[in-house]
Structure 1
Amino acid sequence: MHSIKITLCAALLFLSAAAHGHRFHAGITDISMNPRTGNTEIVHTYMAHDVEALLENLYQRQFDLGDEDDLALFRRYLEKQFQIKDAQGRDIPLTWVGLKTDAERVTVYQEIVKANLPESATILQATLTDFLADQINTININRNNTPRPQTLQFSRQQREHTLERH
């Protein structure tokens, strides 16, 4: 009898955890210079479930990021939510390189062609913060002249950071 109660409790815990889904919402962006190409590479990684839920909420239908039209909608969303501006407030052009998806992740590749990330710039990283109140986006900036990356955190309350020349 005791083992049945333990098994039942374990099953209920498992089902409640599965029904609740994941408990955190996070995105990671890595920005680094590729010395071989001279391009600044930007790699965003988000939880696939969160991206799917966002798009289904925005457009009230199922999404397939393998479909060109659906990809274009997500690309437009991301390009609005992630931007880099120079010290004068001008947009720094970001080139869309591509996107890779699997069951757990959506990875987006962008780059600044033939240029470093300016030392003085403003980064807007609001991806998913408009949809998920607890979304946290972390950016790691790897510069060639520093031993450790600069890490910035973004949330619904803090959607942009200004980088200052040191």
Structure 2
Amino acid sequence: MLRWLHRVALSAALLCGAATAHNYHMGLADIGYNAATGNTEIVHTYTAHDVEALLANLYGRQFDLGAEEDQEALRRYLDKRFVLTVDGRALPLQWVGVKASADTVTVFQEVPGTALPAGAVLKNGVLTDFLAAQINTVNVGGSAGRAAATLTFTASQAEQRLP
């Protein structure tokens, strides 16, 4: 668990640097099973400027992700663009919360009471519909005999089978 938290902290630090330079558009997500809770946990981190620009473009106004109704708009967007499926059926991703700073937006989700089964498919098109150069990296933790893996998603490759 501590190693997973270090990866999340490193991911957020890397995004902070990317937000300052803003030479490219990227998102990072970690998917891991938490044996203590029995839930699969998902932590996404995106550049705040990119998320704010997306929401302003979609809704024609400025957003404050500290406000519940503005978080709801982001949740609706993510529910369409970040989808885990098993045998063609979407898994219920529960929204845990969001933490926004001047540099990053971090979203916490979970799949209650389950580890991801073999053959799960991830569609990750977050921000790729808005920013053609967006690259989303997903770290998938190993569990139940499965190896850990890192997957990359782009506008042209938005769906992949998890290991």
**TM-score, structure 1 as length reference:** 0.82
1: CA distance between counterparts of 2:29 and 2:45?
Answer: 6
2: CA distance between counterparts of 1:109 and 1:145?
Answer: 23
Matches within 5 A, 1:96-107: 96-107=95-106
Matches within 5 A, 1:78-117: 78-86=78-86, 88-117=87-116
Name the residue aligned to 1:13: none
Structure 1 segments of 4 or more deviating over 6 A?
none
Name the residue aligned to 2:71: 71
2: CA distance between counterparts of 1:125 and 1:24?
Answer: 18
Aligned length: 143
Per-residue CA distance 1:46-76 (angstroms, 9 max, x = gap): 0001000101111111111111211111110
Per-residue CA distance 1:56-101 (angstroms, 9 max, x = gap): 1111111111112111111100111000000x20111111111111
2: CA distance between counterparts of 1:36 and 1:99?
Answer: 22
2: CA distance between counterparts of 1:146 and 1:36?
Answer: 18
2: CA distance between counterparts of 1:66 and 1:138?
Answer: 25
Q: RMSD of aligned C-alpha atoms?
A: 1.5
Give unmatched runs, 5+ long, in structure 2.
Answer: 1-20
DSSP 3-state at the match of 1:152: strand
- Bigger-Rg structure (1/2): 1
Quote the offset at 1:145 in angstroms. 4.8
1: CA distance between counterparts of 2:148 and 2:121?
Answer: 17
Cα 1:49–1:146 change in 2 (3 A) is farther
The one-letter code sitting in structure 1 at the alignment partner of 2:70 is D
2: CA distance between counterparts of 1:120 and 1:147?
Answer: 11
Quote the offset at 1:163 in angstroms. 2.9
Cα 1:79–1:147 change in 2 (3 A) is closer
Quote the offset at 1:144 in angstroms. 2.7
**TM-score, structure 2 as length reference:** 0.83
Name the residue aligned to 2:122: 123
Name the residue aligned to 1:52: 52
Give unmatched runs, 5+ long, in structure 1.
Answer: 1-20
2: CA distance between counterparts of 1:40 and 1:107?
Answer: 17
Matches within 5 A, 1:15-54: 22-54=22-54
2: CA distance between counterparts of 1:39 and 1:145?
Answer: 14
DSSP 3-state at the match of 1:75: helix
Name the residue aligned to 2:61: 61
